[in-house]
């Protein structure tokens, strides 16, 4: 299997995990899922950094499914009111970041709010996901540069 095909499979793994958890809750304890997927997503970011070609394109390609999912999430939970929300699109848009939900909760709790609001928690999970990928990407670029020198 070519490297590019493997990479597409890697990009689908967070979505597939989220879809599976939607049907079978608690496959992996949430904190364990956060650690495993955090390490995995960091590694995926590193792998995209090591691809040949334009770094900006590789970064964008690596976050393409994330961006589509995040835009669907914003559309359904920020721009659309409850009465007009498409439940199928809303459900699918949450799958991609589900393995990072624990980090969203951790960061949300720092706000010292007594209430729980799912939309900011999920938004934070999406942000953490892209930040982890970006850290892996930069780390991979540094690693690649030091190997060349």
- Predicted confidence at residue 8, as pLDDT, reads 81
The answer to whether 28 and 48 have CB atoms below 8 angstroms apart is no
- Predicted confidence at residue 37, as pLDDT, reads 96
- Predicted confidence at residue 24, as pLDDT, reads 83
Q: b/e map of 18-46 (b: 16 or more CB within 10 Å)?
A: bbebeeeeeeeebeebbeebbebbbbbbb
- Predicted confidence at residue 149, as pLDDT, reads 63
What's the pLDDT tens digit per position in 55-108? Answer: 999 999 999 999 999 999 999 999 999 899 999 999 999 999 999 999 999 999
Threshold 0.85, pTM exceeds: yes
DSSP 62-93: HTHHHHHHHHHHHIIIIIS-GGG--HHHHHHH
| Among the listed residues 45, 69, 70, the one whose alpha carbon sits nearest the alpha carbon of residue 59 | 45
What is the rounded CA–CA span in Å between residue 65 and residue 83?
27
Q: b/e map of 109-121 (b: 16 or more CB within 10 Å)?
A: eeeeeeeeeeeeb
- Predicted confidence at residue 66, as pLDDT, reads 96
What is the rounded CA–CA span in Å between residue 85 and residue 137?
35
pLDDT at residue 2 greater than cutoff 90: no
- Predicted confidence at residue 1, as pLDDT, reads 66
What is the rounded CA–CA span in Å between residue 16 and residue 61?
18
- Predicted confidence at residue 16, as pLDDT, reads 93
| Among the listed residues 64, 82, 55, 87, the one whose alpha carbon sits nearest the alpha carbon of residue 15 | 64
- Average pLDDT score over residue span 115-135: 94
What's the pLDDT tens digit per position in 20-54? Answer: 988 887 777 888 989 999 999 999 999 999 998 89
- Predicted confidence at residue 67, as pLDDT, reads 97
């Amino acid at each position: 299997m070519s490297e590019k095909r493997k990479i597409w499979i890697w990009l689908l793994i967070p979505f597939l995990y989220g879809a599976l958890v939607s049907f079978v809750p608690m496959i992996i304890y949430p904190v364990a899922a956060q650690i495993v997927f955090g390490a995995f997503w960091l590694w995926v970011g590193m792998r995209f950094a090591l691809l040949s070609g334009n770094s900006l394109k590789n970064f964008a390609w690596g976050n393409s499914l994330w961006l589509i999912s995040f835009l669907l999430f914003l559309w359904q939970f920020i721009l659309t009111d409850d009465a007009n929300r498409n439940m199928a699109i809303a459900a699918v848009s949450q799958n991609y970041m589900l393995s990072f939900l624990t980090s969203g909760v951790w960061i949300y709790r720092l706000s010292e709010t007594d209430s729980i609001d799912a939309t900011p928690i999920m938004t934070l999970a999406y942000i953490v996901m892209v930040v982890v990928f970006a850290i892996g990407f930069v780390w991979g670029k540094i690693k690649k540069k030091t190997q060349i020198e």
